Amino acid sequence: MKRQILTVLSAAALVAVSNMASAADIAAGKAKTAMCAGCHGAKGISMAPMNPNLAGQKDAYLAAQLKAFRAGTRVNATMNPMAKALSDADIANIAAYYASLK
């Protein structure tokens, strides 16, 4: 029993350290969003009814959608080429930035 508890605690500590090491950089995300502003608004609030608001969305959701656009599993003529140029770090940073907005 003690060994199982120790294993669970070790795994939890590893996950916590891993999350800290890969924490997204909101400032870097903001710097990358100039290309997004034309359709999604300067602060993530779109003026066009066909373009979604990004401000306040959950970062995991935004990252998943950007990765799907990049992979081509979600198809949009505008978003696929935009996302293709993004690294995993870029995606995490952009998602964190938009998630931080109200």
Biggest alpha carbon–alpha carbon distance for the chain: 58
Model pLDDT, residue 20: 39
State yes or no: pLDDT of 12 exceeds 60.
no
Q: Is-above-0.75 flag for pTM?
A: yes
Whole-angstrom Cα distance, residue 54 to residue 96?
A: 11
List domains and CATH numbers for the chain.
25-100 (1.10.760.10)
> Over the stretch 17-69, which tens digit does the pLDDT of each residue have?
344 346 899 999 999 999 999 999 999 999 999 999 999 999 999 999 999 99
Return the ∠ at Cα 76 (arms to 51 and 35), rounded to 5°: 60
